[in-house]
């Protein structure tokens, strides 16, 4: 009788998103009543490529 073969599972790390790597991106925004000038400040936004997971879509 041959001994049972043991198989090990190797979990691979998911690939990071090519656009953000963290799930969030910085975006500029516009302020003002009508002229809408671009602000020098930035705000955090959800990455639309990976929807905030930080992993590359398959």
How confident is the model at residue 1, as a pLDDT?
67
Per-residue pLDDT of the chain (58 residues; tens, 9 = 90+): 677 788 778 788 888 888 888 888 888 888 888 888 888 888 888 988 888 888 887 7
Distance CA 49, CA 26 (A): 14
Q: Record the pTM.
A: 0.52
């Amino acid at each position: 009788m041959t001994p049972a073969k043991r198989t090990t599972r190797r979990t691979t790390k998911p690939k990071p998103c090519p656009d953000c790597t963290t799930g969030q991106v910085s975006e500029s925004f516009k302020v003002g009543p009508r002229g809408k000038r671009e602000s020098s400040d930035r705000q955090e936004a959800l990455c639309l490529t990976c929807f905030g997971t930080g992993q590359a879509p398959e």
